A and B are shown apart, each in its own frame.
Chain A
Amino acid sequence: MLALLALHLGLALVAPAVGARIGRRVFLLVALAPGATAVWAATRAGQVLDGRPVTSGGEWVPGLGLTLDLRLDALALLLVTLVAGVGTLVFLYCASYFPPRQAGLGRFAGVLTGFAGAMLGLVLADDLILLYVFWELTSVTSYLLIGFDDEQEESRRAAQQALLVTTLGGLVMLVGLILLGQAAGTSSLSAILADPPRGGSVALALVLILVGAFTKSAQVPFHPWLPAAMAAPTPVSAYLHAAAMVKAGVYLVARLAPAFAVVGPWRPVVLTVGLLTMVIGGWRALRQYDLKRLLAFGTVSQLGFLMVLVGAGTREAALAGATLLLAHGLFKATLFLSVGIIDHETGTRDLRQLSGLGRRLPVLAVVSTLAALSMAGVPPLLGFISKEAAYQAFLHGGVADTAVFAGLFVGSVLTAAYSARFVWGAFASKPGCAATRAHDPAPGFVAPVVVLGVAGLGLGLLPFLADPLVQAYADSYPLAAGEEVEHLALWHGLKPALGFSVLTLLLGGALFAAREPVRGLQRRLSPGLGAVDADRSYEATVTGVDRVARRSTSLVQTGSLPVYLGMVLLTLVLVPGTALLSGTRLTGDLQAYDRPLQAVVAVVVAVAAIAAARAHRRFTAVLHLGAVGYGVAVLYVLQGGPDLALTQFLVETLALVIFMFVLRRLPSTFSRRPLRLSQGVRIVVALSVGAFVTCAVLVSSQARTAAPASQAYLDRSLPDGGGSNVVNVVLVDFRGFDTLGEITVLAVAAMGIASLVLAGRGRRSKQGGGETALTAVGGQALDDPTMTEQQVRS
């Protein structure tokens, strides 16, 4: 299984280079990846359907318990069939869809292959974290695919919306997955499902995971990204937004439901959200004019349907859900690809401009109509079987089941109506509309669509072909006592479900026939519904976050160095200072100095420091500051630290020179502070910082509880490090990794100085004054001695 993932990755990596040479034929090459996956899945099908999953393991990060465990069981097989089967056909379709030599096609093919690989990994992953990684990979690749046409603002916005919404959900889900893994004590998905943990944290974890699933599968209120994503090239819509990615959320719910549907919040949440999505999606689909958007809202609706079925947590519903998963993948991909052909050959997707295409493109019309009939739930297609099974599952229960049934019924009526609208819109001859001109699509262009459409009919006529596949998933729910295994069939006898199916089609047909009054009603309702429009909420959220960021930035980032410095120093005094005051006390045996000379130097340093603070001229202040530094270096000498002293002298010298550079551009005296208050604040801050540092040093020098590490360094320096200068051996050997980090910081600081000065230059040429840039540079230069001293201390 890992080899298949590697094949996807490899082809994804070579596709850009190959695509630049051979143009759109690159899709025939990368189709190898899903094709090979489909063949592999077919060879393993027998074993998997017998209840013996194929597994493969691998270490990823053993220290963190992360594994590359993959597992092909019945549900995964069903999804792999869609991902790889539909994927292969979509890839072949791409080879005709795009212009022979479109720019960026190789990259597109690479990303599409990468997506297929991520999706394959997602359904095969048997580890929570691995699943999450693939989950986010599909988000990222879909972002790139939706934004393929990156010169269109609409594409960029749609891509960003899809990314923001799905990664938001993904992050929430990650928290849930971690909570679940903690509660179970393992991150292995199959182990968790075999022995599901219970408890309050599990309920919370499941709700968080459901949020992730809902965003990915475009459930209310996260659904608007899916219709917006129609800005993507049509094959992407067909693959990501019909067969593959949006099914990820459904897959996750289907995966977890057998073990967790009984947990408190699961059923209310999943069923409510699913039904709402189904009805709202269908309602919105009815008023679309763009065929692709019509299908997109239809997909939202069907995803809600799927969510209800796989999340209900009963054997019958699971059977219906698995069947619908298969049926939906087939008919929705067919429909999207048909729209792609229509768009390609006529140049429009607006159903008000399309007329008479049924006669012009008969093969396409027949195949699409078959798919639409399957979507509407007309016998003898696979869609009918799944809908019948769904009705059956909810018809004989209590009040809750009946309510769910009512929702499904309404949603299905809407589905039937927009299916009719699609066929009419795409292929019918409309009065008052000239027949649309269309080119003849190439046979290779239509063939994948025909295969998909006919598959839906074939599985409908011969349901026993699909039966083992969906039955094996339903087997994850034990049979209740006295319950019989329900097989897929076209004819279940005269049961209520059949009656409701007929009623659904009749009402759907009526709703379509009455489209003009319905449109009027929708228009009257829309201002009221606009208030709760999810797309506008998304816009409001994004602009709101932007606004908060701008406000807080302008509040915190004032651009004034004294304010920044003051904030840093106050934090230093308040946070560790409070801890210092509350938790520690000084013992008495403090020694003023080791030798009298130290006291003399200390006095000099203190006097120089006070003089620096009181100086009126900047130059004088800098010189006094230098005296402080040299005085400290002398203290090092007296203490017997030649390395430290040497470094301190040199750093102090260089700092002085750098100060000179900066001073040449600054006024020679400090500006007079007219405000006594500001001066007072500065004095208070400075004194408290001084007091804090003094106390902190005194306390910390007395706080030692363990033996000093220095003795070990002294002992090991010569034998292990090959040097007798312990300071240097520590720097380059024992703590070499730290030094490596520090010289990296130095390099970054050097680049930072250069870019700050360059930025200041640009501004000066525009505005004629570079005061801010230079003060900023001065701040940077001030940082350097601190940094180098740190280096010495380590």
Chain B
Amino acid sequence: MSAAGGGVDRPADSGAQPRLPGADHLDDVRRSVVLETAVRLIFHTVLVFSVYLLFAGHNQPGGGFVGGLVAGAAFVLRYIAGGRAALAAAVPVDPGVPLGGGLVLASLTGIVPWLFGGQFLQSDYVELDLPLLGIAKLTSALAFDSGVYLVVVGLVLGVLRTLGAEAER
């Protein structure tokens, strides 16, 4: 974390190809080869893990909220290693999109049961026999949880963009 402020490791070969997309916008003194490489290595893994938490949440520890926080942590890493531009390269959308999209998705999950004569937010599930994966239970609450996930991601992105950008000035 302190690396973001101070720039611990000065890269040996400044001017080499970018390790993290967008990070080359930073001053060389602020770049850290260790951090950039590490983030590049684990970023996608963390994202996949967050999606796993989202899906597993219904039966094991996890869920949309936790998953969203983990994904948010991945973006935080990306931001710390590469600054605003690296974050923008990773998420080329306005934070309002996941925020609003998540709210819409969650609300729709509430409204759709009405159309089938159910109650607001009433849930249902189907069991699917998927090739390779075996039997998977798909609940409508998953869509709702995905909405939560998106809102949390949007919140973290929004905070990063506004507060982080403000602090960088």
Contact of B155 among A725, A737, A739, A746 (CB under 8 A): A746
| Chain A residues whose CB sits within 8 angstroms of the CB of B107 once the complex forms | 740
Q: Is B83 an interface residue (CB 8 A)?
A: no
Q: Is A781 an interface residue (CB 8 A)?
A: yes
Question: Which residues between 134 and 167 of chain B lie within 8 Å of chain A, taking CB atoms?
Answer: 137, 139, 141, 144-145, 147-148, 151-152, 154-156, 158-159, 161-164, 166-167
**Contact between A647 and B69, CB atoms less than 8 A apart:** yes
| Chain B residues whose CB sits within 8 angstroms of the CB of A758 once the complex forms | 162
Closest residue of chain A to B109, judged by CB? A736
| Chain B residues whose CB sits within 8 angstroms of the CB of A760 once the complex forms | 166
Closest residue of chain B to A755, judged by CB? B162
**Contact between A662 and B167, CB atoms less than 8 A apart:** yes
Closest residue of chain A to B163, judged by CB? A661
Most buried by B among A656, A733, A784: A733
Q: Separation in Å of the B109 CB from the closest CB of chain A?
A: 8
Q: Separation in Å of the B64 CB from the closest CB of chain A?
A: 7
Asked, given contacts A658-B163, A725-B62, A740-B107, whether A732 binds B141 with beta carbons under 8 Å apart, the answer is yes
Q: Separation in Å of the B122 CB from the closest CB of chain A?
A: 9
Contact of B125 among A653, A722, A743 (CB under 8 A): A722
Q: Is A691 an interface residue (CB 8 A)?
A: no
Asked, given contacts A643-B63, A725-B59, A754-B158, whether A650 binds B70 with beta carbons under 8 Å apart, the answer is yes
**Contact between A650 and B110, CB atoms less than 8 A apart:** no
Q: Is B60 an interface residue (CB 8 A)?
A: yes
**Contact between B63 and A733, CB atoms less than 8 A apart:** no
Contact of B144 among A650, A660, A732 (CB under 8 A): A732
**Contact between A654 and B76, CB atoms less than 8 A apart:** yes
Q: Separation in Å of the A664 CB from the closest CB of chain B?
A: 5
**Contact between A747 and B148, CB atoms less than 8 A apart:** no
Chain A interface main SS type: helix
State the interface size on chain B (CB cutoff 8 A). Answer: 52
| Chain A residues whose CB sits within 8 angstroms of the CB of B57 once the complex forms | 723, 725, 728
Contact of A743 among B70, B148, B158 (CB under 8 A): B148
Contact of A750 among B62, B66, B158 (CB under 8 A): B158
State the interface size on chain A (CB cutoff 8 A). Answer: 51
Asked, given contacts A722-B137, A757-B163, whether A732 binds B145 with beta carbons under 8 Å apart, the answer is yes
In the bound complex, CA of A583 to CA of B14 (Å): 70
| Chain A residues whose CB sits within 8 angstroms of the CB of B61 once the complex forms | 642-643, 646, 725
Residues of B within 8 A of A (CB): 1, 4-5, 57-66, 69-70, 72-73, 76, 80, 95, 99-100, 102-103, 106-107, 110, 120-121, 123-125, 137, 139, 141, 144-145, 147-148, 151-152, 154-156, 158-159, 161-164, 166-167
In the bound complex, CA of A642 to CA of B154 (Å): 24
Q: Is A777 an interface residue (CB 8 A)?
A: yes
| Chain A residues whose CB sits within 8 angstroms of the CB of B154 once the complex forms | 747, 750
In the bound complex, CA of A731 to CA of B58 (Å): 10
Asked, given contacts A658-B159, A722-B58, A740-B107, whether A732 binds B148 with beta carbons under 8 Å apart, the answer is yes
Most buried by B among A723, A737, A781: A723
Q: Separation in Å of the B167 CB from the closest CB of chain A?
A: 4
| Chain B residues whose CB sits within 8 angstroms of the CB of A650 once the complex forms | 66, 69-70, 72-73
**Contact between A728 and B62, CB atoms less than 8 A apart:** yes
| Chain B residues whose CB sits within 8 angstroms of the CB of A42 once the complex forms | none
Q: Is A657 an interface residue (CB 8 A)?
A: yes
**Contact between A736 and B141, CB atoms less than 8 A apart:** yes
**Contact between A781 and B159, CB atoms less than 8 A apart:** yes
In the bound complex, CA of A740 to CA of B111 (Å): 12
Residues of A within 8 A of B (CB): 642-643, 646-647, 650-651, 653-654, 656-658, 660-662, 664-665, 721-725, 727-729, 731-733, 736-737, 739-740, 743-744, 746-747, 749-751, 753-754, 757-758, 760-761, 774, 777, 781, 784, 788, 791-792
**Contact between A761 and B60, CB atoms less than 8 A apart:** no
Q: Separation in Å of the A653 CB from the closest CB of chain B?
A: 6
In the bound complex, CA of A475 to CA of B151 (Å): 66
| Chain B residues whose CB sits within 8 angstroms of the CB of A792 once the complex forms | 65
In the bound complex, CA of A727 to CA of B107 (Å): 20
**Contact between A747 and B100, CB atoms less than 8 A apart:** yes
**Contact between B103 and A744, CB atoms less than 8 A apart:** yes
| Chain A residues whose CB sits within 8 angstroms of the CB of B80 once the complex forms | 657
| Chain B residues whose CB sits within 8 angstroms of the CB of A743 once the complex forms | 102-103, 106, 147-148, 151-152
| Chain A residues whose CB sits within 8 angstroms of the CB of B147 once the complex forms | 743
Most buried by B among A729, A732, A733, A757: A732
Closest residue of chain A to B61, judged by CB? A642
**Contact between B141 and A729, CB atoms less than 8 A apart:** yes
Contact of B152 among A729, A746, A757, A774 (CB under 8 A): A746
**Contact between B166 and A750, CB atoms less than 8 A apart:** no
Q: Separation in Å of the B132 CB from the closest CB of chain A?
A: 22
Q: Separation in Å of the B136 CB from the closest CB of chain A?
A: 12
Contact of A747 among B59, B66, B99, B163 (CB under 8 A): B99
| Chain B residues whose CB sits within 8 angstroms of the CB of A753 once the complex forms | 158-159, 162-163
Give 14 CB contacts A-B under 8 Å.
Answer: A643-B63, A646-B61, A646-B62, A722-B141, A725-B58, A727-B63, A728-B62, A728-B63, A737-B120, A743-B102, A743-B103, A747-B102, A757-B163, A777-B163
Closest residue of chain B to A731, judged by CB? B63
In the bound complex, CA of A788 to CA of B66 (Å): 10
Closest residue of chain B to A737, judged by CB? B121
Closest residue of chain A to B4, judged by CB? A660
| Chain B residues whose CB sits within 8 angstroms of the CB of A791 once the complex forms | 65
Q: Assuming A725-B57, A736-B144, A746-B151, what are 9 further A-B pairs, CB within 8 angstroms?
A: A662-B167, A722-B125, A723-B57, A731-B145, A740-B110, A747-B151, A750-B99, A753-B158, A757-B163
The 5 closest A-B pairs by CB, nearest first: A723-B58, A650-B69, A722-B125, A750-B158, A642-B61
In the bound complex, CA of A731 to CA of B29 (Å): 46
In the bound complex, CA of A784 to CA of B159 (Å): 10
Closest residue of chain B to A756, judged by CB? B162
Asked, given contacts A665-B167, A732-B148, whether A654 binds B73 with beta carbons under 8 Å apart, the answer is yes
**Contact between B65 and A647, CB atoms less than 8 A apart:** yes
**Contact between B144 and A662, CB atoms less than 8 A apart:** no
In the bound complex, CA of A646 to CA of B69 (Å): 10
**Contact between B62 and A654, CB atoms less than 8 A apart:** no
In the bound complex, CA of A750 to CA of B164 (Å): 13
In the bound complex, CA of A621 to CA of B119 (Å): 48
Q: Separation in Å of the B106 CB from the closest CB of chain A?
A: 6
| Chain B residues whose CB sits within 8 angstroms of the CB of A724 once the complex forms | 58-60
| Chain B residues whose CB sits within 8 angstroms of the CB of A662 once the complex forms | 163, 167
